[in-house]
Structure 1
Amino acid sequence: MILPPGRPSGRSGVWIRGDRRLRRRAAALGSVAALGLLAACGAKPSGQKGGANAAVTVGYVVVQPTRIPMTNELSGRVGAYQSSDVRPQVSGLIEKRLFVEGSRVTRGQPLYEIDPSLYRAAVNQAQANVQSAQANLAAAQALADRYRPLAAIEAVSQQDYANAAAAAGQAKAAVAQTQAALDTARINLKFTTVPAPISGQIGRSLYTVGALVTTSQANPLATIQQLDPMFVDLQQSSGELLALRRSLASGGLSPGSAAVRLTLEDGSAYDQVGTVEFSEAVVDPSTGTVTLRARIANPRGVLLPGMFVRASFVQSVDAAAFLVPQPAVSRDPKGQATVYLVGPGDKAVQRTVTASRTQGAFWVVTQGLGPGDKVITQGLANVLPNKPLRPVPASAPERIQPPSGHGHGAPGKGPAAGGG
C-alpha cells in the first residue's frame, strides 16, 4: 500500500494531508449526486400537462331572462282600523258604568250614565217657556185679526193694526226660539247616557262611578278600537319610490300585485294576506320616507295596535332579469358584482353586472348579462381572465375513473370530464 506524502498523525498512521484531500473529493461527489437527484425529482414526463396555460375544468349554467317579481321588505307598525275616544258631551257626575272593561261593544250601546237631574229640570223649564210663548202668540194673533177689518173701515188707525200685526209676528218667533231651547235641553238630557261611537273592543275605563266629568276635559272616558281588519303603516325610502316610478314609466318594470305578507316580531309568518291600500303623497322630512298603508284581516286578534312587523310585497315585476346562482357572483375591491363567463375559444371572461338583491339561492342580475351567456358556477378558484377552460354543464353527471394500476376497479361517479 502506497501512502500519499505527508506526516503521520500519531499512532493511527493516517496521513493528515492525504486525509484532507479525500474529504474534499467525497464532498464534491456528494454535491453532484444531490443535484442529479433534485433534477430527477423536478422533471415531468413528456406527456404530462401543466403550467399557467393548462385548461381548467369548470361548470357553467346558461342563463335566460325571466319574469322576476321584485319583492320589497319594509318595516311597519300595526294600527287599528278605527279608533274612537269616548268623551262626555255634558258635565256631571258619573252614576253608572254599563260595560265590562276589555269587552266588545257595538255602536250606540250605552256605556256611562251621568246624573240627569239638572238636564231633566232644564227640559221642564224649556217646555214651560214654549207653552208661555204659545199663549202670547195666541193673544197677539187674535188682536191682529181683530184689527184687520177695523182698519179696513178706518175704525182704528192703520198704525194700531201695524203694531198688532208686528206683535203677533214677534210672538210667533218667540215660540220658535223656546222650541229650539226645548230641543237643546232634550238633547243634553239624552247625552247624560254616553253611547259607544263605533263598534269594537273597549279598553279600560279612565273614570270611575262618582267622578266629575266635563265637556272640556283632556282625557277620554275610554277608548274603543276596531281590530278586524287592521292597518299596517309601512315606511319606504323616497329614493326607492322615485326609482320605482321612473322604471314603471320607462317600461322597464311592470306593476306588481298588491298582496302583502307579514312577518311577526317573533319571526313567524302571519297566515293572512293583506293588500296595499295607498301611499301618501308627502315625504316625512325627518326620515325621508313615504308611508304606505296596507289592510289585512285579523280574525283571531293576533295583531295588536302598535305591534312591529315586517311586510313583504311585490311592488313590480322585471321581465328581463336573470337568476344567477349565488356562488357565481363575487365582489371586486370597489364592491361591484362580477361573474366569469365562458367566452369565445373557451376562455374565461370577467363581466361586471348589477346584482342588488337575492331571491332564494340566486342573485337577481338586472344588467350586464345577455340571453344564452354561460356563467361559470363551479371551479372558480383557479379561473383568471383569458385563462383556457374546459367547460362542462354544471348539471352534467360525474364519473369516477378507476385508479391507475387497478384495472378491475368498479366505475362510479366522478367529474364529467374524466376527473379533469
Structure 2
Amino acid sequence: MMSAKLWAPALTACALATSLALVGCSKDPKDAQQGGAAAQKMPPTEVGVIVAQPQSVEQTVELSGRTSAYQVSEVRPQTSGVILKRLFTEGSFVREGQPLYEIDSSTNRANLDSAKAALVRQQANLNALQVKANRYRQLVGINAVSKQEYDDLLAQIKLAEADIAASNAAVKNAQIDLGYSTVRSPISGQSGRSSVTAGALVTASQANALVTIQQLDPIYVDINQSSAELLRLRQQLAQGSIDRSNNTKVRLKLEDGSTYPIEGNLAFSDASVNPETGSVTLRAVFSNPNHLLLPGMFANAQIVQGVIPNAYLIPQAAITRTPTGQAMAMLVNAKGAVEARPITTAGVQGQNWIVTQGLNTGDKVIVDGIAKVKPEQQVVAKPYQPQAAAPQGATPATQQKTGGAQPAQQDKATEQKATSNA
C-alpha cells in the first residue's frame, strides 16, 4: 500500500503533461489563417521618387592638359658689344618697346659717322661731275669737246648717283645698328631671369637668350582628346543629337582641386592625330588677369561639347544595370505599382546620369528604396529627399553617452545582487 501511494503523484504529473501536449497539437487552423492574413495586410513599402522633367543638358568631357604662355619671346642681341647696364627688374611686367639692356654703342656710333662721311663725299663728287657736265654740254655744241668725252662724263654721273644710294643705305644700316645698342622688349609680358649682367660681352644673334618674356594674359591650355572620342562627337553632330551652335566653353579645375573662376573658349583643334598617343591636341584660351595660371601647370579641363535637348537628369542611385549592361530605371506607374523600364544614357553630369531615351515627362522614378522593391509590387510614392550628411562628432558623442550609462547600470546590478545575497 505504501508503494501505491508513492507512485500516485508521479502518474498524475505524467497525465497532466500528456494533456498539455495534446492541446498544443490540436490548435485551431482558423487561427493560423488569420495570422497569415494579418501578415499579408502589412502597409505598402514607401519609396522616394523624383518626377522626370526634360531639359537641355550640357554634354561635357573632362580631359587633362597643361598651360602654356600665349606668347613667348626669347630676347637676343642684334648687335655685338658689352652690356653696360640692365634696365628692368627681373620677374617684373614689361611693356612692348620698353628698354631692357644698354649695350656699349661706341663702335656703332663710329660706324654711323663713317657712313655719313662717305655719303657726303659721294654727294660732293656728284656735284663736281654735274658742273663739269653742264660745261661740256656747251662745248660739245661748238665741237670744242668730243662727243665721246661728254658721254663718258654722263656715265660717271650715273655711277656717282648709284654710289650715293649705296651710301644712304649704309647710313641707315649704321643707324639701325646704333638703335640695337638699346635692347627693347618685343612684347608685353612677364620677364624671367636675366642670363647676363653688366660687363658681359654679347654677340649678334647668339644662341643664349638674354631674358625670356612671356605673355600670360590670356593664356593657353593644351588638352589631349582621344581620336575615338572626337569621332563619336562628330557623329553625334552629324546626326543632330547634340547642338553645338555656340562657341565651345571650357571650365578648368586646378591642381589643388579648386575650380578656375573664369570660363575659356576652345580656339584650336589639331588637324591630325598623333600616331604615338592616338590623341588630338585641343587648345583653349583663358583670361588670366591675376596671373593665377602659370605656364607648365597641370589642370583638368571640362569641355562643353554640346547641348543635348530634351534630356533627363536622374540621380545615379536610381539607375541599375543588368548583367548585359542595359541601364534600368524603376518607376511607379499610375496604379501605384513598380515598373522596370530600360533606358539609354549619354554620360554623367555631376551626381546624375544624362538619360536620353526611355523616360517620359512626368514619370515617377524611384530613387530611395529601390533595393526594397520589385516589379509589380504596390508601393507608396513620396517625394525624394536627399539625405543630409550626418554632422561630424555625433557618433562619438552618442558612444560617450552610451558608455557613460553602462557603468551606472553595472553599479545598480551589483547593488541589487549584493542586497539579494544579504
Q: TM-score, normalised by structure 2?
A: 0.76
**Is the 8 Å Cα contact of residues 272 and 296 (structure 1) preserved in structure 2?**
yes
Corresponding residue for residue 80 of structure 1: 69
**Is the 8 Å Cα contact of residues 224 and 280 (structure 2) preserved in structure 1?**
yes
Corresponding residue for residue 406 of structure 2: none
Q: Deviations over 1:253-275 (max 9, x none)?
A: 22256444332211123333433
Task: Say whether residues 1:383 and 2:381 are aligned partners.
Answer: no
Q: Deviations over 1:88-143 (max 9, x none)?
A: 00122222222221122222222112222222221122122212222222232233
Structure 2: distance between partners of 1:324 and 1:61:
8
Corresponding residue for residue 15 of structure 2: none
**Is the 8 Å Cα contact of residues 60 and 391 (structure 1) preserved in structure 2?**
no
| Equivalent residues in 2 for 1:12-161, closer than 5 Å | 45-50=35-40, 58-161=47-150
AA paired with 1:317?
V
**Is the 8 Å Cα contact of residues 257 and 316 (structure 1) preserved in structure 2?**
no
Structure 2: distance between partners of 1:272 and 1:65:
28
**Is the 8 Å Cα contact of residues 378 and 394 (structure 1) preserved in structure 2?**
no
AA paired with 1:264?
L
Structure 2: distance between partners of 1:173 and 1:370:
88
Structure 1: distance between partners of 2:353 and 2:25:
54
Structure 2: distance between partners of 1:322 and 1:154:
108
| Equivalent residues in 2 for 1:17-416, closer than 5 Å | 45-50=35-40, 58-255=47-244, 256=246, 258-342=248-332, 348-385=338-375, 387-395=376-384
Corresponding residue for residue 394 of structure 2: none
**Is the 8 Å Cα contact of residues 354 and 366 (structure 1) preserved in structure 2?**
yes
AA paired with 1:47?
A
Q: 1:29 to 1:151 in 2, by over 3 A?
A: farther
AA paired with 2:72?
S
Structure 1: distance between partners of 2:283 and 2:174:
43
Which ranges of structure 2 fall in alignment gaps of 5 or more residues? 8-17, 386-422
Structure 1: distance between partners of 2:204 and 2:384:
77
**Is the 8 Å Cα contact of residues 58 and 389 (structure 1) preserved in structure 2?**
no
Q: Deviations over 1:146-177 (max 9, x none)?
A: 33333344443332222111111011101111
Structure 1: distance between partners of 2:137 and 2:295:
72
Q: 1:123 to 1:48 in 2, by over 3 A?
A: same
Structure 1: distance between partners of 2:277 and 2:36:
70
Q: CA deviation at 1:63?
A: 1.5
Q: 1:195 to 1:189 in 2, by over 3 A?
A: same
- Aligned to 2:225, the other structure's residue is in SS state strand
AA paired with 2:187?
I
Structure 2: distance between partners of 1:97 and 1:146:
59
Q: Deviations over 1:338-368 (max 9, x none)?
A: 2223458665443332334333442211233
Q: CA deviation at 1:218?
A: 1.6
Structure 2: distance between partners of 1:161 and 1:200:
63
More helix by share: 2
Structure 1: distance between partners of 2:288 and 2:306:
26
Q: CA deviation at 1:188?
A: 0.9
Q: CA deviation at 1:335?
A: 3.7
Q: 1:151 to 1:254 in 2, by over 3 A?
A: same
Q: 1:29 to 1:237 in 2, by over 3 A?
A: farther
Q: Deviations over 1:292-340 (max 9, x none)?
A: 3333333333221211222335332111211112221113334442222
Q: 1:173 to 1:46 in 2, by over 3 A?
A: closer
Q: 1:159 to 1:65 in 2, by over 3 A?
A: same
Q: 1:95 to 1:60 in 2, by over 3 A?
A: closer
Structure 1 window deviating more from structure 2 (296-305 vs 272-281): it is 272-281
**Is the 8 Å Cα contact of residues 90 and 193 (structure 2) preserved in structure 1?**
yes
Q: 1:150 to 1:81 in 2, by over 3 A?
A: same
AA paired with 1:175?
I
**Is the 8 Å Cα contact of residues 377 and 394 (structure 1) preserved in structure 2?**
no
Structure 1 residue ranges, 4+ long, deviating more than 6 angstroms after superposition: 28-37, 39-44
**Is the 8 Å Cα contact of residues 49 and 366 (structure 2) preserved in structure 1?**
yes
Q: CA deviation at 1:384?
A: 3.7
Q: 1:50 to 1:153 in 2, by over 3 A?
A: farther
Structure 1: distance between partners of 2:65 and 2:258:
16
Structure 1 window deviating more from structure 2 (137-146 vs 189-198): it is 137-146
Structure 2: distance between partners of 1:84 and 1:378:
59
Structure 2: distance between partners of 1:34 and 1:289:
79
- Aligned to 1:253, the other structure's residue is in SS state coil
- Aligned to 2:145, the other structure's residue is in SS state coil
Equivalent pairs counted in the alignment come to: 381
Q: CA deviation at 1:223?
A: 0.9
